[in-house]
Amino acid sequence: MVGRRSGRLATMFGFGRAFRGAVRAREPGPDVIVGSTPSPIAAWAASAEARRRGVPFVLEVRDLWPQTLIDLGGYARWHPGVLLFGAIERSLYRRADHVVSLLPHAERHIARVCAAPPRTTWIPNGVDLELARRARTEPAGRTGVAPDGRFVVMYAGAHGPANALDAILDAAALLERRRPGRFRVDLVGDGHDKDRLRRRVESEGLESVRFLDPVPKAEVYRLLAGADGLIVNMNPGRLYRSGISFNKLFDYLAVGRPIVFGTDAANNPVAEAGAGVTVPANDAAALAAAVEHVADLSPAERDSIGSRARAFVEEHYDIERLAERFAGVLRSVSAGQPAASVPA
């Protein structure tokens, strides 16, 4: 665990150095520079380059640092790396001419960290609606349906500590005991925890759980559209008090299948859309009960839920509209005009 965390930090610093070298070789210079926080080091390098060139700097907040190190990385609050990233975070907010945040309530967090917070626009992740539409109309049909008629619940995404998949396996074990032969749980994707999760399934004899390899984005939509229900769970923690913008959640909504969502985040697209059942984060018993509830609905009831999900994502999370909103912010900032502040 320590080696993996240290390796990620080293990668961040390496990327920051590579960015500086690449951008300084580019001429003519940009009108505005954007730095994004999957790596706060790279974002800081972007801010330094913007200052060097005398152009506006826009900070895109995707992950909150150093809170990510604490909640997901297991670092102590007084760890030198946490203190360093905290200083970088404050510096980024001070340097930013504008902040674009994927998280709907990040403005409150920024105000706590920065005495004079910059203007902030909320622009979440979104969905390529055309890919999702094609997946729903492909002749291959319900690819996830089990030949023995089981109700198929699917998770598609990374298999890492942040994805809280152990609670989903716990829920699968409960379902096997309560209603043997009724459910199948498919986990699609890859990640650091996948081998460990496989070993756990084998050691516990969870015959209802399948692991599927990662597939291209268009194929993911086809798989999701072929399932009966979709599931995602989160670890509880302070990190999500500013909200979430999970790509997988919007993909789930786009294919129109009922969703079981374990969360304690500040926002909840599933509840907003009326697209499924929400339960507390990391509560295996509640996850299992929610899956049973969705499975016991009539096909017409599940189709109605799916229709609400699709309508919601088409209205609020169309990637083309969101890209235009982002471009509008950049045009305004580069022209020296204040972009509109758009909270959740």
Domains of the chain: 7-126+319-334 (3.40.50.2000), 129-316 (3.40.50.2000)
Residues 6+ apart with CB under 8 A from 132: 221, 225, 251, 254, 255, 310
Q: Which region among 48-52, 148-152, 176-180, 229-233 has the lowest average model confidence (pLDDT)?
A: 148-152
Side by side, the strands of the sheet bearing 98-101 are 33-36, 57-61, 98-101, 120-122
Length of the chain: 344
Which residues contact residue 66 at a Cβ distance below 8 angstroms, ignoring those fewer than 6 apart?
A: 75, 81, 82, 83, 84, 85, 86, 89
Q: What confidence score (pLDDT) does residue 131 get?
A: 84
Please identify which residue in the block is written with the tokens 């996830």.
144
Secondary structure of 313-337 as H, E, C letters: HHHHCEHHHHHHHHHHHHHHHHCCC
Highest averaged pLDDT of the listed ranges 14-18, 59-63, 283-287: 283-287
pLDDT over 90 at 238, yes or no: no
- Using alpha carbons only, how large is the chain's radius of gyration in Å? 21
pLDDT digit string, tens, across residues 304-338: 999 999 999 999 999 999 999 999 999 999 988 76
- Please, which residues have CB within 8 angstroms of residue 279's CB and are 6 or more apart in sequence? 260, 261, 262, 286, 287, 289, 290
Q: Over the stretch 151-166, which tens digit does the pLDDT of each residue have?
A: 999 999 999 998 999 9
Does residue 274 contact residue 244 with C-beta atoms inside 8 Å?
no
Residue 139, pLDDT > 50, answer no
- CA–CA separation, 126 and 251 (whole Å): 8
User: pLDDT, tens digit, for every residue of 264-281?
Assistant: 999 999 999 999 999 999
Question: Using an 8 Å Cβ cutoff, are 294 and 277 in contact?
Answer: yes
The per-residue pLDDT for 69 is: 84
